Chains A and B, each alone.
Chain A
Amino acid sequence: MKIDPDYNCPFNSDHTPFGDVVLSSRARLARNLEGFPFVNRSTTSDCIEVTSLLSQICTKNNSNLQLKWIEMDELDSVTTEMFVERHLISSSLAHAIHPCAIAVGPELSRSVMVNEEDHIRIQSIRPGLQLTDVRDDVHQLDLLVEEIISYAFDDQLGFLTACPTNLGTGARFSVMVHLPGLRLVKDLERVRRACEGMSLAIRGYRGEGSGTMADLYQVSNQITLGNTEEQLCNILSEDFLPPVIEWERKARMTIAKEQSQRLDDQTFRSLGLLQNARILTPEEAMNNLGNIRLGISLDRIDTIEISTVNQLLIEIHPGHLRWKYGKELDDDELNTRRADLIREKLGQ
């Protein structure tokens, strides 16, 4: 299987339901094998035994899934960086020094991390609002693994995980949402309160403890115990997202109507900058792409497809730029290449 980052973009949400607000949907299951210590107490031979078992499972009976098995120490640094940027693997797996691995599907949407914080992290990511689909994806992989292996499971506590915050279902569902309208009408606090009330966590683009870029936020279930997988998924897809999507759309319409000049200024200032800059940091590029994404959704710009912006929101990150232009690029060269790529894609 050839790994091709151009093949699929997890943010290509333009033809998916609610793609104007929801960029991507993700599901993750945390699992551990019975009879083994958790990864943080595992010896090297335990880790090797677990990767060996999982490699047999992931490469067997998976004609439909076509998972490619990769030991992390065999994965080059650029592909590793690119996988982290696509959320296919976590940063901690990328930097782990014990034996660990990843099985990844050809569409770069499904993956199985082996020996991360837990022995197994099954993941799926799809563009737009497709929470039910990603839930089905991980369930299918879960069944494949448990046909052969016994999970650490307790009747009362469910699937046992290294951290009690993942206990029970081990399931984490999340969405990446674009909320520029709610920021501009100063209503993000309402979203935060809604998250709090539904036991959801809201984080910036780069995850826990980070600020955000491009008005992108990740929202996920905070609890994993005491609800079924379906219930946890529905809290996001049925209770949280419909009103938030509605608020965001209303906020965008309000801005277009009542702050039209400000919107135009923001949109074309960002467009001018992105079409002319020769050096762009990730933050500057992301924030201005976020602004023109809002401008496109409100018909301020009709010469650029929203899919072009969605694609750029992924492709301008260091791993993707190094994949495209060469792995030796330093930070200054990355900033130049980033600006070149954006000018090329935005037609200037």
Chain B
Amino acid sequence: MTYVVNRLLSVILTLFLITLVTFAVTNILPGDVAMMIMGTQSNEAALEGLRQSLGLNDPLIVQYGRWIGGLLTGDLGNSLIFKKPIAELLVQKAVASAIIVVMSMTIALALAVPLGVWAAVHRDKWQDTVSSSASLMGVSLPDFFWGIVMILVFARWLVWFPSSGIVEPSEDFLGALRYAFLPSLALGLGLMAHLTRMTRSTMTGILGQEFICVARAKGLTERTVIWRYALGNAIGPVITIAGLQIGYLFGSIIVMESLFGYTGMGWLTYQALLNRDLPLIQATVVVIAAVVMITNLLVDLLYVLIDPRVKLG
């Protein structure tokens, strides 16, 4: 119980620091927000008016206080480019991105675990070389390159999936999955490479341990030994790495959603950055960092459920 309380306290502290870092990065770095919004050619009077109305002339600590107050009450202000409340935009886009995140992680794990196990079982043979080379190749290509290849193959040549756009899951769930599939596949392939390497190295370590020898000596089938005994022990570290990849994934969805014109959180973040929509930049950055941190916490807790040797407290 102490563990959970400690973790929760540290989550709150980190959340606070996340807001501080976001605010610092977007405010203290050189660059005039009013000029970002209106462009370098605008006249001084108009700039001053905008600064006044945005409260940019107040001391930073006051601005930060105002912003935090808004965050806590769910009032994130209005987006400058979309002219809509940011909270509303975030809720709407978060669902679309959640589909992509879950789908790409599922694809990555579904491919990486068997491939990693296969490589570890046939360690130092051609199967291992194939799997290692494939995953090395996978980590070496930028994922947006995979995205371009996917568009070319599945959308242009085979015409199986749409190359861009989005469907609201509330209107047509299967349609939404269809639109999310290609970006998820492209993201999943990049992730898969990392996870395959991790599965292989963890499995290799475990297959060399004594209890595996004992299990084989007891006459258990190779299938039980590998999939139940060995993988059961290897899956924990793999899940941890998968959890850590969530951060990487949230960076990549910015590129991927923009490439596929998939209007989720990543696309929203990109629009905010591109148009220097400061309130929207701050909101999306804070939300993404918070989601990444909380996911990592959940993965830690999940680990405890999967691996009985890890005890809380």
Answer yes or no: do A and B interact: no
* Chain A interface residues toward B at CB < 8 A: none
* Chain B interface residues toward A at CB < 8 A: none
